Amino acid sequence: MFRLWAKIFKDNRLLQDTVICDGSDDTRTHKVFRALEEVCYRFDLGKPIWLDANISDFKRHSKTRFRQDSFVEQVDFDFLEIQVIEED
């Protein structure tokens, strides 16, 4: 089972969180992108842009933070953090 935990923070406080589970036989990359799409749907957000810093953080730690510069529209939080908490 693949699980991704997504959290929205503002002023060092957790505002919302959710866990996305995926039991498919897809690649890790596909699972991450699908989970991020589901997170954005649940939180009513536009999909963030993966910047080079996000990619390198995610490769190293299986975790990254999307700040305002990753979103096209204005967001009312400091960052969206995603973290892989379980892999097959």
The pLDDT, as a whole number, for residue 88 is 79
Number of domains comprising the chain: 1
pTM of the model: 0.93
- Residue 26's domain comprises 2-86
Q: What is the pLDDT of residues 5-37, one digit of tens each?
A: 999 999 999 999 999 999 999 999 999 999 999
- Quote the CA–CA distance of 73 and 1 in Å, as a whole number: 33
- Quote the CA–CA distance of 19 and 81 in Å, as a whole number: 12
Q: What is the pLDDT of residues 32-84, one digit of tens each?
A: 999 999 999 999 999 999 999 999 999 999 999 999 999 999 999 999 999 99
